[in-house]
Amino acid sequence: MATEGKKNPFKGRQFTVEIILWAVRWYLQLPISYRDLECMLADRGVSVDHTTLFRWIQAYAPELDKRIRPHLRMTNGSWRVDETYIRVKGEWVYLYRAADAAGQTIDFLLSPKRGAAAARCFFREALKQSHTVNPRTITVNKNAAYPIAAKAMKREGALWRFAKLRQVKFLNNIVEPDHRRIKRLARPGLGFKSFVTVSRTVAGYEAMAMIRKGQVASAPAHDMQAQREFIAALFRVVA
Mean pLDDT of successive 10-residue segments in the chain (239 residues)? 57 84 95 96 94 96 96 96 92 95 95 95 96 96 94 94 89 85 89 93 97 94 94 78
Could you tell me if residue 28 is inside a domain?
Answer: yes
| Model pLDDT, residue 139 | 95
| Structural domain contains residue 118 | yes
Domain end position, chosen among 180, 207, 225: 180
Reported pTM? 0.91
The reply to whether 107 falls in a domain is yes
Q: Residue 100 domain-assigned? A: yes
**Owning domain of residue 116:** 78-180
CATH code for the domain in which residue 147 is found = 3.30.420.10
107's enclosing H/E stretch is strand 105-111
Give the angle subtended at the CA of 227 by the CAs of 196 and 11, to the nearest 5°.
55
What's residue 4's pLDDT? 43
Cβ atoms within 10 Å, residue 181: 17
pLDDT of residue 5: 44
Q: Are residues 9 and 28 in the same domain?
A: yes
- Cα-to-chain-centroid distance, residue 232: 18
* 89, 51: one domain: no
Q: Is residue 185 part of a domain?
A: no
Examine the domain organization and report whether 156 and 101 are in the same domain: yes
Q: Are residues 8 and 48 in the same domain?
A: yes
Based on the fold, state whether residues 97 and 156 are members of the same structural domain. Answer: yes
Domain's final residue, options 180, 201, 219: 180
What's the pLDDT at 238?
Answer: 56
* Residue 7: inside a domain: yes
**CA distance linking residue 216 with residue 196, whole number of Å:** 27
The reply to whether 156 and 201 lie within a common domain is: no
Residue 201 within any structural domain of the chain: yes
- Whether 22 is in a domain gets the answer yes
Distance CA 144, CA 9 (A): 43
Are residues 83 and 63 part of one domain?
Answer: no
- Number of domains present in the structure of the chain: 2
Residues 129 and 163 occupy one common structural domain = yes
State the pLDDT at residue 31: 95
Q: Are residues 49 and 108 both part of a single domain? A: no
Query: Looking at the structure, do residues 167 and 84 belong to the same domain, yes or no?
Result: yes
> Do 102 and 140 fall into the same domain?
yes
Q: How far apart are CA 4 and CA 235, in angstroms?
A: 9
Same domain for 207 and 133? no
